[in-house]
Amino acid sequence: MFGLSIIDIIVIGLYFAVMISIGIWSMRKIKNQEDYFLAGRSFGKFIQTFANFGQGTSADTCVGVTTTTYSNGAAGIWSSLLYLFATPMYWMVAPWSRRLRLLTLGDFFIERYGSKRMAGVYAVIGSVGMMTMIAVGFSAMTKTVVALAPKQVSELSASELSEYNSAIELDELQSDNYQTLTPEQKSRLAELSQSRPQKIFSHINQNALMWLVSIIVMLYAVLGGLEAAFLTDTIQGIFIIILSLLLIPFGWLKINAVYGGSGFMDAMQTVHSQLPESFFEIFGSPNTIDFTWYYILALSIMGMINVVIQPNSIVVSGSAKSEYECRFGSVVGCFMKRFVTIFWGFFALMAIVLYHDKVHNPDFVWGYATLDLLGPLNLGLVGLMIACLMAALMSTADCLMITCSSLLTHNLYMPSIPGRSEKHYVFVGRIIGGLVVIGGALIATQFDSILQILKFMWEINVMVAASFWLGMKWRRATRKAAWASIVTTAVLFFVLPLIVPVLVPSLRTNDALLETTHPAPVVRTYTAHQMDVDVRMVEIEKWDRLNTAGMAETIRPVVLRVGDEFTRTYKLPVKSIFWTKGVKANGQKQRQGYGMLSLELLLIDKLGGNLSANPYALNETIRIATRTTVPFIVLVIVSFLTKRDDKKMLDRFFVKMKTRVSRDHDTDAREMQLSYANPDRFNDRKLFPNSDWEFDKWTREDAVGFTLSVVTVFVVIGFLMLLIGVGKI
């Protein structure tokens, strides 16, 4: 049934039944909006840890890391490890969300700036972002699960077989040297590349699976609210860890069975002897040359700034019993993700050895490996893997759904229709939550690739980041300045780059805007491993065929043996400077820019920046740094040019942010009354007395936690280097 065994289907069915039961059980405890949206602020360290782990880990994460590592070697792990260096800051900023004592992050803009309209704008921006993140998870999960139930070639329909043959033809054309192709073959390659024929067909319909998972998420999360979401996150977090470790022992057993040996160390020695040395370069691999130290640093800073302003940050942190549980869960949960990320990349290296000649599309390697390694056991492990992938998605989708539901209910619906009962608003929140999940699924069906939408979502929060950060720590930040920062950033970085090419289509074919980078070739010297030898033999065979046909234009490659030193030249890809989706040939075979126009890079280039001479990583770093800093600069300048906001409003906000959260709700309420009665109550904690800056002196808890977090960053890097280096000859 669906290409799966009965036991696999039973495992999946039991998993779904447990999730729905949790939702029904949690539903009985909901009495008001705080119960539904924040679970009564009742969660301790254990639930908080897995909630944060679940929010940072979706189906696209494990599959994505495996894909990039399978394609690029160990350096591909950085595709998910970029936030590592920002993690210690979570120890400092996570308690902010708890001290706000608010239902949504939109309420922050009401309390700090006195603007319900700003809260409404944030609700829209944040909800679009959360729905897109749900869509990304749906897309990654369904594509991978579909690959777990593939049809055999003999089972394909006539149309599927025709598309399958076209995909095989495309693989063959892409594997050949482009310069040696005939004009007809080049034309055929261009045609097939544009149509992107599919090679894997499944017994499972991707859209049907997407809607099934949507219904499951809606049933338990819409019914049970955040408590159901976080309880299932805990269960699903355990499943995700199982997912991360499940394939590794079966992978090394298969390697030993194919190549000889016994035990883990023999398997890892085989991995090192088979794969090229470049596949074990963690930093600066020629395959991922764009991941320079300065690019990683820029991404880490941007990630640290933007993650805090994501709407789900207050949902996760705000549900904690106190701020210690909040910061503990945030940091430990994130570090858990960093460690399992390493295991995903580690397995991908094993998969290269096993499947480099069988799986040419890295997106399918996880599904292929699952069928190959776990399917023959017939123990329901394939069903467990499918459940794990669905768990990874649902552990993210459920909380994002509750986040959007609370934002739209509290900051849009309630201001428009005030004065209704708590029961009414909870009911509306459930309806909005269901619509959010449906919206995420609809978005997922509109895209074939998730890369560009991920990049867009990653940057969208720059519109509101400055107003949040400076609003939190600088009294001088004004409402008018916050509006100026939000509007300026939205117009410069999102609206104009999108609509200017629409209004002036000729810009897409303007020669000056089609400029690309001109990367110099990268030459590296390595010691030959078995895969290097195999690749060289293929190169020699191709050369011999060309020479026989009288078409060889180079010297015959030298035979390579294991242990020989050889040099390899990497021709890095040419990339567009100004267009987010690159420069490609259009239907008239004319070069054309696609995507949005990077106006900031265009301005820098016109001012004499000469960006074509820079590496692509440097241009991307400049773009990221510009988008990160401009909103702050605008807010600071306009703040000094405008009148200060109401002092009483600011006093109430900042004294609240200095009042630690008590575990007991009544005690916390009494502490807040004392703080409101005396706004100067905690001024002795200010790091810069008699200034507009509201930085607090570090406590012992602050210092110890931050220091341990920094040490853990180096532990993660050391663990990565140790695991990748195991078995090195």
Does residue 27 or residue 140 have the better pLDDT?
140
Does residue 224 or residue 614 have the better pLDDT?
614
Distance, in Å, from the CA atom of 482 to the CA atom of 490, rounded to the nearest integer, reads: 12
Mean pLDDT of 401-408: 79
Indicate the range of 25-34, 474-483, 571-580 predicted with least confidence.
25-34
Distance, in Å, from the CA atom of 330 to the CA atom of 95, rounded to the nearest integer, reads: 9
Mean pLDDT of 496-514: 90
Residue 545 has pLDDT above 90, yes or no: no
In the structure, what pLDDT confidence band is assigned to residue 43 with cuts at 50, 70 and 90?
A: low
What is 373-402 written as a DSSP string? HHGGG-SSHHHHHHHHHHHHHHHHHHHHHH
Residue 49 has pLDDT above 60, yes or no: yes
In the structure, what pLDDT confidence band is assigned to residue 54 with cuts at 50, 70 and 90?
A: low
Which residue type sits at 329?
G
* Helix segments in 409-459, DSSP class H: 414-416, 422-444, 451-459
Does residue 539 or residue 662 have the better pLDDT?
662
Q: Is the Cβ–Cβ distance between 475 and 244 less than 8 Å? A: no
**Could you identify the residue written with the tokens 């009544």?**
666
Closest CA to 55 of 397, 308, 307, 314: 397
In the structure, what pLDDT confidence band is assigned to residue 562 with cuts at 50, 70 and 90?
A: confident
Q: Per mean pLDDT, which of 102-106, 330-334, 623-627, 645-649 is the most reliable?
A: 645-649
Q: So what's the pLDDT on residue 454?
A: 58
Residue 58 has pLDDT above 80, yes or no: no
Q: So what's the pLDDT on residue 583?
A: 80
Mean pLDDT of 390-406: 71
Mean pLDDT of 363-390: 79
Per-residue model confidence as pLDDT tens digits over 163-209:
778 877 776 665 554 445 567 776 776 667 555 677 667 777 766 77
Q: So what's the pLDDT on residue 472?
A: 94
> Are β-strands 583-585 and 591-593 bridged in parallel, bridged antiparallel, or unpaired?
antiparallel
Q: So what's the pLDDT on residue 178?
A: 47
Tokens of 610: 């000469």
Tokens of 299: 């991404």
Closest CA to 78 of 330, 344, 460, 391: 344
Question: What DSSP element (H or E) covers 368?
Answer: helix 365-374
Does residue 439 or residue 721 have the better pLDDT?
721
Indicate the range of 194-203, 493-502, 591-600 predicted with least confidence.
194-203
Residue 315 has pLDDT above 90, yes or no: no
Per-residue model confidence as pLDDT tens digits over 209-250:
777 777 766 665 555 455 555 666 677 667 767 766 888 899
Residue 706 has pLDDT above 90, yes or no: yes
**Could you identify the residue written with the tokens 């980078």?**
517
Distance, in Å, from the CA atom of 69 to the CA atom of 72, rounded to the nearest integer, reads: 5
Mean pLDDT, rounded, of the chain:
79
* Helix segments in 504-595, DSSP class H: 530-548
Distance, in Å, from the CA atom of 631 to the CA atom of 154, rounded to the nearest integer, reads: 58
Q: So what's the pLDDT on residue 25?
A: 62
For the domain covering 6-150+202-444, report its CATH number.
1.20.1730.10
Closest CA to 3 of 142, 198, 151: 151
Report domain extents, the chain: 6-150+202-444, 512-627, 647-685
Question: What DSSP element (H or E) covers 324?
Answer: helix 323-355
Does residue 624 or residue 320 have the better pLDDT?
624
Q: How many residues in the chain?
A: 729
Q: Per mean pLDDT, which of 3-12, 346-355, 468-477, 497-506 is the most reliable?
A: 468-477
In the structure, what pLDDT confidence band is assigned to residue 37 with cuts at 50, 70 and 90?
A: very low
C-alpha separations of 700 from 141, 163, 180, 321, 706 in Å: 43, 64, 67, 20, 10
Q: Measured in whole angstroms, how far is the alpha carbon of residue 441 from the centre of its chain? A: 17
Query: In the chain, what percentage of residues exceed pLDDT 70?
Result: 77
Q: Is the Cβ–Cβ distance between 359 and 368 less than 8 Å? A: yes
Largest CA distance in the chain: 92
Closest CA to 122 of 316, 403, 496, 437: 403
- Other C-beta atoms within 10 Å of 69: how many? 29
Question: What DSSP element (H or E) covers 583?
Answer: strand 583-585
* Helix segments in 552-696, DSSP class H: 599-604, 616-641, 647-658, 665-677
Distance, in Å, from the CA atom of 643 to the CA atom of 128, rounded to the nearest integer, reads: 33
Residue 381 has pLDDT above 90, yes or no: no
Distance, in Å, from the CA atom of 729 to the CA atom of 726, rounded to the nearest integer, reads: 9
What is 266-314 written as a DSSP string? HHHHHHHHHS-GGGG-SSS-GGGTT--HHHHHHHHHHHHHHHHTSTHHH
Does residue 585 or residue 413 have the better pLDDT?
413
Q: So what's the pLDDT on residue 97?
A: 83
Q: So what's the pLDDT on residue 177?
A: 47
| CA quadruple 361, 367, 369, 371: dihedral sign | negative
Residue 561 has pLDDT above 80, yes or no: yes
Distance, in Å, from the CA atom of 395 to the CA atom of 327, rounded to the nearest integer, reads: 20
Q: So what's the pLDDT on residue 714?
A: 94
Does residue 146 or residue 302 have the better pLDDT?
302
Long-range CB pairs of 115-120 (<8 Å, 24+ gap) are 115/479, 115/482, 115/483, 116/411, 116/415, 118/467, 118/479, 118/482, 118/483, 118/486, 119/411, 120/411, 120/412, 120/415
Q: So what's the pLDDT on residue 664?
A: 82
Distance, in Å, from the CA atom of 191 to the CA atom of 587, rounded to the nearest integer, reads: 11
Q: So what's the pLDDT on residue 245?
A: 80
Indicate the range of 186-200, 588-602, 680-694 predicted with least confidence.
186-200
Q: Is the Cβ–Cβ distance between 319 and 329 less than 8 Å? A: no
Q: So what's the pLDDT on residue 320?
A: 72
In the structure, what pLDDT confidence band is assigned to residue 39 with cuts at 50, 70 and 90?
A: very low
Q: Is the Cβ–Cβ distance between 453 and 132 less than 8 Å? A: yes
Q: So what's the pLDDT on residue 56?
A: 62
Per-residue model confidence as pLDDT tens digits over 351-361:
988 987 777 66
